[in-house]
Each structure stands twice: as structure tokens, then as C-alpha cells.
Amino acid sequence: MTWTVEFLKEAVNDLSRLDPSVRVRALKGICKIAQNPLPQTEGGYGRLLGRRDVMDLVGLLTVKLRADGIRVVYRIVRADKDALVVVGVRTDSDVYREAVRRRKKHGF
């Protein structure tokens, strides 16, 4: 089962800033995640995030695409239509701080 993938506008901007070859691999990785975005504890790819210092990342998941060092932060919406919402895609750990900002901005 493939989940529906939705991108925040900011995540689209993150992708557009990546080198084109890296962007293609990141999108392939997101497609793979969409096949099974569940947390590792439920047999999926995602690693559950929690509270880090002053950052509240509870409810978000992350996957690191090792070959390129890309981190994809996302959340799962389990409703009538299952959706995977990509919150951020970046090459550094700043993705977590940005995820907190975007969470506050979009109210999730």
C-alpha cells in the first residue's frame, strides 16, 4: 500500500535547493518511504522523534538517506485517507530546528 504524499511549501523549497542529482535520489527515497512510512517499532522505515533539548518533535518521524546525508522529517496522518506529510528535507541536522518552526507555523 502506498501512502499519499503531501509536501509543505517549505519542503518543496528545500528540495529545489538541493543539487539536481541529489534531489532525484531524495525523491526516490521519499517514494520508498511512502511504501511504508510507519515507525521502525511497527515495521516501517521511520525513526520516531521525541523531545530534544528545547525542541518538541513528538509525533514526527525521520529517515536519513545515508548515501547523500539527506534527512527527511515527516508526519503520518492516519485518517480516511492515509497521508505522509513531508515537513522538511535537508542535508544537515538543522532540519530538526526547522521542523519545530514549521510545526508551529502550520499548527500540527
- pLDDT digit string, tens, across residues 2-57: 888 999 999 999 999 999 999 999 999 999 899 999 999 999 999 999 987 778 88
pLDDT of residue 80: 66
Q: What type of residue is 2?
A: T
pLDDT of residue 81: 64
Query: In terms of residue numbers, what domain contains 58?
Result: 4-106
Read off the CATH number of the domain in which 94 is found: 3.30.2310.20
pLDDT digits (tens, 9 = 90+) for 77-91: 887 667 888 888 887
Tell me the residue ranges of DSSP E strands in 8-107: 47-48, 51-52, 55-56, 61-65, 70-77, 83-90
The number of angstroms, rounded, from the C-alpha of 53 to the middle of its chain's C-alpha atoms is 20
Q: In the chain, how many domains are there? A: 1
The number of angstroms, rounded, from the C-alpha of 1 to the middle of its chain's C-alpha atoms is 18
Contact indicator for 33, 84 with CB cutoff of 8 Å: yes
